Amino acid sequence: MYRHMVPMTTFALVTATLYSSATFAQVSPSNSDGQAVHKAAPVAQPLTLSEAIRLALQFSPQIVANQQELAASEGAVIQAGARPNPEVQALLEDTRRDSRTTTVQLSQPIELGGKRLARISVAEAARAQTAVDIEGRRAQIRADVADAFFAAAIAQERVKLAQASVDLSMRGTDAVSKRVQAGKVSAVDETRAKVAHAGVRLELLQAQSELRSARQGLAALLGPASAVRAQTLVWQSGVQPAARNLEASQLSDVPVLRQARLEVDKRQAMVELAAARRVPDVTVTLGAKRDQQVGRNQAVIGLAIPIPVLDTNPGNLLQALRLHDKAEADFQATRIRVETEWVQLTERQRFAQAEVDVLRSEVLPGAESAWQAATTGFELGKFSFLDALDAQRTLLQARAQYLRALNELYRTNANIDRLLGTSGEEQTTSKP
């Protein structure tokens, strides 16, 4: 909690810089403590949200791994469509030349019951699942980066606010000291001002620590080559997430539901494959036989058909059926979970947006007006130091609450993006 006093003469400068029309200015380049960097000092290229997302997707080892898995699934589809190889067989009966019989034949297994098509369906369903996994992973990375980016940007704003509060607190402490020397206020007010100033300096240290942690979290997502760019963020608080106007019935295309539905399709294909394997395959044989005793060549034609008496693949079929039922149940459970999570997230977003709007349009202007009046009255001797200190504390609390509400809004929007598989940078709206 902020506990310091700010003279009115410095309020206009800070208000115009940090909260013009109750909004934050664009984040400027800053060092690790959130303080402004001198123009002559070398700085990294400013990092926008879209660029941060691009870098994270480019350097993500998980995306590379999933792409390799997708390429491997192409091989599985090719292999599933392969037909059985023919077999060449040579037989020699009797080793004596005059009575020897030589047979050469070619056997070709022929799959029946739709086994090949069933295998292809299973492989294609697995490939589709891998593609959805990649899409979901990309959505997860985009949401993680957006969450980390806004957390760092807001932490940077907190540091700027805390630094301005320290400066103003120092000036306020000096003003109180002069009034104590002039005999206009008691020494107790000076002690209170110094205590408030110490509290604000501690808040600055805490804000700087949180900023460093937030930047490290963002840098970890960008890759080692781009980590330095996490120190300079470009962001405007006036650009806020837009509310989603979707019905629960329109959530069928979210990655997690598509994944569950593809699992049902794959299990159905596996049921069809297990059922197809109950149908025996036939083997056609063509060849020639040379009988030395007879002295002529003879054609060999054969047909082999297994008799499904002892093994009709009942266990595999039963297992496939039950796993299909499980996939159906999992899909329904996932659908309910997604719809419930969607309702909760949209409600949280609605509340966070309402809180941000109220703080921006009502609370902040009212707190600033009350603080200005109290500071003016204190300088004119109409109000006590406690009145001015309470008014300033209320103003700083309102500003901190605004940052917390804004952070919650962005965090909620990131969770919505994770659920829907969308990009947060595409779902924004400008606030005046």
Task: State which amino acid sits at residue 425.
Answer: E
- Report which DSSP code applies to 106: E
Query: Considering just the CA atoms, what is the radius of gyration of the chain in Å?
Result: 37
- Report which DSSP code applies to 108: E
Q: Please state which of the ranges 51-55, 271-275, 290-294, 367-371 shows the lowest mean pLDDT.
A: 290-294
pLDDT in tens, 86-109: 999 988 887 777 778 888 999 999
Is pLDDT at 123 greater than 90 in this prediction?
Answer: yes
Pairing of strands 296-304, 282-291: antiparallel
CB 7 within 8 A of CB 172: yes
How many C-beta atoms lie closer than 10 Å to residue 184's C-beta?
12
Which 3 state secondary structure label does DSSP give 34? coil
Q: What is the CATH number of domain 8-430?
A: 1.20.1600.10
Would the pTM of this model clear 0.85, i.e. be above it? no
What strands lie across the sheet with 87-93, from one edge to the other? 87-93, 101-110, 282-291, 296-304
- pLDDT of 38: 42
Alpha-carbon span 196 to 200, nearest angstrom: 6
Q: Where are the domains of the chain?
A: 8-430
DSSP 184-229: SS-HHHHHHHHHHHHHHHHHHHHHHHHHHHHHHHHHHHH-GGGGGG
Which 3 state secondary structure label does DSSP give 311? coil
Is pLDDT at 325 greater than 90 in this prediction?
Answer: yes
Average pLDDT, the chain: 78
Task: For residues 171-181, give the mean pLDDT.
Answer: 74
Alpha-carbon span 86 to 1, nearest angstrom: 82
Q: What size, in residues, is the chain?
A: 432
Buried b (16+ CB within 10 A) or exposed e, 342-351: beebbebbee
Q: How far is CA 419 from CA 131, 273, 297, in A?
A: 17, 33, 73
Alpha-carbon span 425 to 369, nearest angstrom: 35
